Amino acid sequence: MHEIQWRFAPSLVEDALKQILPDNLAPDSLAGHARLRQAMHYAVFSGGKRLRSQLVLEAAGVVSADFDALRALSAACSLEIIHAYSLVHDDLPSMDNADTRRGRPSCHKAFDEATAILVGDALLTLAFEIMTGDALGQDYAGDAATRLRAVQLIARAAGEAGMVGGQAVDITWSHGRAENVSRLQLLQMQAMKTGALIRVACEVGAVLGGGTNTQIQALSRYGEHLGRAFQIQDDILDVEGDPELTGKSATDTTNYKLTAPAFFGLAESKQLARESSEAAIAALQEFGDRAAALRQLAYFVVQRDK
């Protein structure tokens, strides 16, 4: 996302993730353990946008101009790791059965299905180890209560009330089994499956940055609308995007999933994505120029081609 003038360089998160999951293994590592670590590294360093981690850092910086980004780095990395695990499980034969992800074999194809399942398990638990520990050797933002609040927010967004619950609904509706689904229900499913982690990234950043309740709520609204715009644009790209750019298999079509274009049509989906982007920008009104990067991001998500 080079078009966006981030407050903090994306390399900050990338370097921290390399510190958490180094590429080198101890020479005496057990074979199965070594393979698991290799697969975890493969899943995390797959060329993603690092959107969620940047949102944590930007939201913290928006509510506190002198905030040290390193103090929110653990939370930022945790969200990237949770996102990586979700993609590994999403691609499994029992779910989307996707052979590729971001232009290369999905984790279960590069390794095997059992290893991919364990990768997801290991990454999810690693994320909370990072959130509650000192893996990066940095002071964590806020007191113990603030830290606990951030952990609780992420756990809820990643669990059955958020991402996992949304995936369960999506699976239930796949293969043409979606009957009498309303507009509101479709948007609710997408808000859970994709939007929850995007929204919570903004909330956690604001919490760790010491934001007021009003500021946290404003950034939560921003994240909610941004997540909707992001998912709808993803659905649009599944229909008319270039697979060479998106790096994804057209599994939503082959699995007969209920997507925004399938429900609304392309024209209305594009309009809804634009409206969601505009609503996200409107939520940032009180932050002025401090939220310039977040505004740029809201424009970017509906203009991107991958």
Please choose, from the candidates 165, 169, 83, the residue with its C-alpha nearest in 3D space to the C-alpha of residue 126. 83
Which amino acid, residue 20?
Answer: I
Average of per-residue pLDDT values in the chain: 90
Residue 170 pLDDT: 93
Please choose, from the candidates 202, 277, 203, the residue with its C-alpha nearest in 3D space to the C-alpha of residue 233. 277
Q: Against a cut of 0.85, is the pTM above it?
A: yes
Residue 1 pLDDT: 52
Joined together, the tokens standing for residue 253 give: 């079509």
CA angle 205, 9, 82 (to 5 degrees): 50
| Domain topology for 10-303 | Farnesyl Diphosphate Synthase (1.10.600)
Q: Could you tell me how many residues make up the chain?
A: 306
Cα 274 to Cα 51: distance, rounded to the nearest angstrom: 19
Quick: pLDDT tens for 140-197. 666 788 889 999 999 999 999 999 999 999 999 987 777 789 999 999 999 999 999 9
Residue 30's pLDDT band, with cuts at 50, 70 and 90, is confident
Residue 140 pLDDT: 63
Residue 248's pLDDT band, with cuts at 50, 70 and 90, is low
Task: Name the E strands within 70-163.
Answer: 100-101, 104-105
Please choose, from the candidates 117, 151, 20, the residue with its C-alpha nearest in 3D space to the C-alpha of residue 77. 20
Residue 84 pLDDT: 98
Q: Are 61 and 290 in contact (CB under 8 A)?
A: yes
